[in-house]
Amino acid sequence: MELFETKFREAMSSKVALLNRITYYIVNRKGKQMRPMFVFLTAKLLSNGEVNERTYRGASVIELIHTATLVHDDVVDESSKRRGFFSINALWKNKIAVLVGDYLLSKGLLLSIDNGDFDLLRIISVAVREMSEGELLQIEKARRLDITEAVYYDIIRQKTATLIAACCSLGACSVKPDTEHVETFREFGELCGMAFQIKDDLFDYGEDKIGKPTGIDIKEQKMTLPLIYTLNHCSKSERRWLINSIKNHNKDKKRVKEVIAFVKDRGGLEYAVEKMLEFKERALAILRSYPESEYRSSLELMVNYVVDRKK
């Protein structure tokens, strides 16, 4: 990870001083860095602990793309904070934030093209397309609040799971190109990503300080699994009250608290936890089909971390 940090910094560098100042700010406020870890551990599991330059490039590209999407997300969501720090748009305004996101995206793509990693580029490009489609599908459905559980899974598969799937398939592709492992680990990453997003949805109903205020998904009219389950398991009048609360009273703190209490009372949280654990178990089952190693153990730890994390 230390060597990766150096390579990642180099991948971001520019001749424009302002850009360097902003990217320096981004690098020094990094998050959990789960995505590059997925790339490295997958590669190591498949190649007895060996990684190559392609693995480092794959990890850098995914982190560049991921960072670009976060910078753009903060502009779209008009968010002034990210992980407790000021967002790029809060410090340098929207126009600069959008351009920085574009710059990071192009740097990621060029890193693959300049090194002839077209197989890695395909994986990344599919992920970027799916993430955009997932976000737009969510926006379209939020307007009508008619999301079924199946549509919800489609949204989170594209919005969140596709990037973790890309990390794992990139790791596999960097050391074992054109093998069945690339698809196996794409599926493994997707399952991890599904569990990851359901866990995020559950935070909206928690009391813990997790960097985003509770009830924010309801305020933003986002249909999450606990809410979808509750809507499908309550009377017509309760359903009308719920939909009316989300559509017309989502800024009313007291009403949002009532919605949260209602969802908890009707078993929405238990159901979401159950589904999250199903995705986790399916991911672990894929890992168990590979021989035991420290890399497999580390990936198992990461899968468990996804559902046990506190933020």
Confidence of residue 209 (pLDDT cuts 50, 70, 90): very low
Question: Per-residue b/e over 126-164, b at no fewer than 16 CB within 10 Å?
Answer: ebbebbeebbebbeebbeeeebeeeebbbbbbbbbbbbb
Burial of 82 (0-12, 13-18, 19+ CB in 10 A): buried
pLDDT (0 to 100) of residue 34: 87
The Cβ-side half-sphere exposure at 106, using a 13 Å CA radius, reads 8
Q: Is pLDDT of 7 > 90?
A: no
**Stronger pLDDT, 11 or 183, i.e. the higher one:** 183
What is the helix (H) or strand (E) element at residue 81, kind and residue range? strand 81-82
Whether 270 has a pLDDT exceeding 90, the answer reads yes
Cβ atoms of 33 and 83 within 8 Å: the answer is no
Of the candidates 12, 27, 38, the residue with the CA atom closest to the CA atom of residue 110 = 12
Whole-angstrom distance, CA of residue 100 vs CA of residue 249:
36
- Which phi and psi angles does 86 have, rounded to 5°? -65, 140
Strand partners, 82: 85
Confidence band, pLDDT 50/70/90 cuts, at residue 256: confident
Q: Cα 174 to the chain's mean position, in Å?
A: 21
* pLDDT tens-digit readout, 90-117: 888 888 889 888 999 999 899 999 999 9
Is 80 exceeded by the pLDDT of residue 206?
no
* All structural domains of the chain with their residue ranges: 1-292
Q: What's residue 141's pLDDT?
A: 80
Residues 6+ apart with CB under 8 A from 19: 100, 103
CATH topology of domain 1-292: Farnesyl Diphosphate Synthase (1.10.600)
For residue 212, the one-letter residue type is K
pTM of this prediction exceeds 0.85: yes
Q: What pLDDT does 214 receive?
A: 67
Structure tokens given for 79: 């968010």
Predicted pLDDT of residue 192: 96
Of 65-69, 156-160, 282-286, 299-303, least confident by mean pLDDT is 65-69
pLDDT given at position 304? 94
Asked if pLDDT for residue 167 goes beyond 70, the answer is yes
